[in-house]
């Protein structure tokens, strides 16, 4: 039985898309077959990270009723597939987000994880994403505005039966004035799954068109934090140690030994 997880923040620009891309690679490197879905159909960004922005069939066609989700699945990385979103404004206007739930449900059991890159805000596409996903993982930055919006996103997810199960903190700089994990956990009333440091290397996948940081620099603090979060999500603790040799054999361990993935 696959797990569909909406990755949501409420507030824009906190790192949802970047996190979805890196988390997907981390989960897949642990042996989990993973599908990433760019449900931000107005501002498609996820496909840019994997250079799949010119894919002929996208989530737009699925939401217009012109294609099945299987027709829009592309290989992004080893063990990671992606359903990109389209770029055309016209197809965006014609897309009906109500079709998302059925599309996700029709593929979820073919994967261990289906991660949805939920748009910022609580407009129709965000609501459709919560409606389509079984669970929600909240991502926030350590500031009050982001935390307040994360709380809103959590409430909406809850109302739409996409069970919020944890939160993560992104772009942590360890500076004075940042909210702590304890403060955020109290505010959000959710278990804390980890903190990803602010790291200029992370930005390079958008700014310079480079691969996600977890592929380029698996030993960086940001990558290790994401691996740690992936292990928690997959329900298994794997120690990350420097002496482990290769990215695939050492860093992640295997979450799933005999699942045929």
Ligand X SMILES: Nc1ncnc2c1ncn2[C@@H]1O[C@H](COP(=O)(O)OP(=O)(O)OP(=O)(O)O)[C@@H](O)[C@H]1O
Comparing CB distances to ligand X, the nearer of 109 and 219 is 219
Token pair for residue 97? 């987000």
Comparing CB distances to ligand X, the nearer of 53 and 68 is 53
Token pair for residue 30? 């642990």
Comparing CB distances to ligand X, the nearer of 7 and 160 is 7
- From the CA atom positions of the chain, what is the Rg in Å? 17
- Per CB under 6 A, 196 contacts ligand X: yes
Contact 141, 14 (CB under 8 A): yes
Task: Scan residues 5-64 and list those touching Mg ion (CB under 5 A).
Answer: 16-17, 45
| Minimum separation from the CB atom of position 142 to ligand X (A) | 11
Tokens 């669970």 belong to 135
Rounded distance between C-alpha atoms, residue 166 and residue 51, angstroms: 30
| Minimum separation from the CB atom of position 254 to ligand X (A) | 26
Contact 16, 167 (CB under 8 A): no
Helix (H) or strand (E) holding 182: helix 181-188
- Per CB under 6 A, 56 contacts ligand X: no
Total H helices, total E strands in the chain: 11, 8
| Minimum separation from the CB atom of position 208 to ligand X (A) | 10
Task: Scan residues 151-190 and list those touching ligand X (CB under 6 A).
Answer: 170-171
User: What does 234 interact with, of Mg ion, ligand X, none (CB < 5 to 8 A by kind)?
Assistant: none
Comparing CB distances to Mg ion, the nearer of 45 and 141 is 45
Rounded distance between C-alpha atoms, residue 123 and residue 138, angstroms: 17
Which residues bind to ligand X, rule: CB under 6 A?
Answer: 9, 12-18, 40, 43, 45, 120, 170-171, 196, 198-199, 202-203, 206, 222
Contact residues for Mg ion (CB under 5 A)? Answer: 16-17, 45
């Amino acid at each position: 039985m696959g797990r569909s997880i909406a990755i949501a923040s409420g507030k824009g620009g906190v790192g949802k898309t970047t996190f979805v891309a890196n988390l997907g690679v981390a989960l897949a490197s642990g042996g989990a077959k993973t599908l990433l879905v760019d449900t931000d159909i107005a501002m498609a960004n996820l496909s840019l990270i994997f250079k799949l922005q010119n894919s002929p069939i996208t989530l737009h066609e699925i939401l217009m009723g012109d294609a099945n989700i299987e027709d829009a699945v592309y290989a992004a990385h080893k063990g990671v597939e992606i359903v990109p979103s389209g770029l055309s404004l016209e197809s965006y206007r014609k897309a009906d987000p109500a079709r998302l739930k059925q599309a996700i449900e029709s593929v979820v059991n073919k994967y261990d994880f289906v991660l949805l890159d939920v748009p910022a805000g609580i407009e129709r596409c965000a609501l459709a994403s919560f409606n389509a996903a079984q669970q929600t993982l909240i991502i926030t930055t350590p500031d009050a505005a982001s935390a307040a919006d994360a709380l809103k996103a959590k409430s909406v997810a809850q109302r739409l039966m996409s069970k919020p199960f944890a939160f993560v903190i992104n772009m942590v700089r360890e500076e004075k004035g940042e909210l702590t994990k304890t403060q955020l956990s109290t505010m959000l009333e959710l278990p804390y799954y980890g903190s990803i440091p602010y790291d200029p290397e992370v930005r390079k996948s958008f700014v310079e068109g480079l691969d996600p940081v977890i592929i380029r620099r698996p030993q960086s603090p940001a990558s290790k934090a994401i691996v740690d979060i992936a292990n928690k999500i997959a329900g298994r603790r794997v120690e990350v140690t420097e002496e482990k040799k290769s990215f695939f054999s050492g860093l992640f361990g295997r979450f799933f030994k005999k699942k045929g993935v």
